[in-house]
Amino acid sequence: MKVSYYPGCALHGTALEYDESTKAMSALLGVELGELPDWSCCGASSAHVTDNSLAHSLVARNLAIAEKEGRDLLVPCAACYSRFKAGERELEAAGRKLHFRVLSLLEFLVEDGLMERIKGMIKRPLAGLKMVSYYGCLLVRPPKVTGAKKYENPEEMDRILSLLGAEMIPWSYKTDCCGGSLVLTRTDIVRRLTQKLYDRALEAGAEALAVACPLCQSNLDSRQEEISREAGKEYRLPILYITELIGLSLGHPDTGKWFRRHFVDPAKLLASKGLV
């Protein structure tokens, strides 16, 4: 199986571990990722709030490249995925239909038969690891853009991680906003939103959060020390990409390199479960 791959800016910068673990996971599963040639920034999140024409043009350019490649397009970044889906809807409104699918990472894993491959390749079940899944805003909303059917209670990440043996805990905050788009302008709001997510995850009994968005991961991972000082209590919740967890369960040798890039090192928690 071969699909086109749009990493976007974050996965070539602050989210290298997401890019590397996505590629590593795909290779294990027998999927060839063909990175779009000469791809450019999709405009998330600045262009679409400042210039509609620019926002449309940036996405349309990348969609045109993907059209020439002639394969389904995997977009792991939730913000990029949101922009690509919005661009797809704009083209449809203009009477033009894409001849390929724009897929989030979770759609790709669940809809293309890869869960059966994963099931047959598990080497290290995530038994005893208590987690909540955090989807954030853009993977599922707005549903008229993403096409998500269960946009209030998505289940793809829960299904995948349950398959790997993790104990997935139900909670009511899996699609609440973490404030990722406000990290430079309203840090007061960001701190309040992220602390609420930490508290609710801990209240539910979670030991870690699973994510599939580089903006959410960065925001939730990097804020814990700051919020701990302000709140007068310590937060040390590992924020793990689902691709890292799949790589860990399938026995990929590079997981330690990915985990060391996190602000909150998950090594102690994973070691306590016999996973590293």
pLDDT digits (tens, 9 = 90+) for 80-116: 999 999 999 999 999 999 999 999 999 999 988 899 9
Q: Report, as an integer, the average pLDDT of 3-26.
A: 97
Dihedral of the alpha carbons of 255, 196, 199, 22, in degrees to the nearest 10: -10
Q: What would the CATH number be for the domain defined by 122-272?
A: 3.40.50.11810
Which residue in 99, 239, 113, 95 sits closest to 180, CA to CA? 239
- 185-244 pLDDT, tens digit per residue, is 888 999 999 999 999 999 999 999 999 999 999 999 999 999 999 999 999 999 999 999
pLDDT of 47 > 70? The answer is no
Reported confidence tier of residue 25, pLDDT bands at 50, 70, 90: very high
- 158-182 pLDDT, tens digit per residue, is 999 999 999 999 999 999 999 988 8
Reported confidence tier of residue 49, pLDDT bands at 50, 70, 90: low
pLDDT in the model for residue 45: 67
* Averaged confidence pLDDT in the chain: 95
Q: What would the CATH number be for the domain defined by 2-109?
A: 1.20.1050.140
CA-angle at 17, arms to 13 and 108, nearest 5°: 105
Report the percent of the chain where pLDDT is more than 70: 98
Q: Report, as an integer, the average pLDDT of 71-75.
A: 98
Q: Report, as an integer, the average pLDDT of 63-69.
A: 98
Chain centroid to CA 92: 26
For helices 214-222 and 224-231, the axis angle rounded to 10 degrees is: 40
- Rounded Cα distance between 117 and 137, Å, is 29
Which secondary-structure segment (H or E) carries 211? strand 208-211
Q: Which residue has the higher pLDDT, 47 or 151?
A: 151
Would you kindly state where each structural domain of the chain is located, as residue ranges? 2-109, 122-272
pLDDT in the model for residue 54: 85
- Rounded Cα distance between 179 and 191, Å, is 8
Please tell me whether residue 90 adopts helix, strand or coil conformation.
helix
Mode of pairing for the β-strands spanning 102-103 and 2-5: unpaired
Contacts (Cβ under 8 Å, ≥6 apart) of 187: none
- Rounded Cα distance between 38 and 165, Å, is 39
Q: Report, as an integer, the average pLDDT of 57-72.
A: 97
pLDDT of 50 > 80? The answer is no
- Rounded Cα distance between 24 and 89, Å, is 31
Contacts (Cβ under 8 Å, ≥6 apart) of 117: 29, 30
Q: Report, as an integer, the average pLDDT of 244-257.
A: 98
pLDDT of 66 > 70? The answer is yes
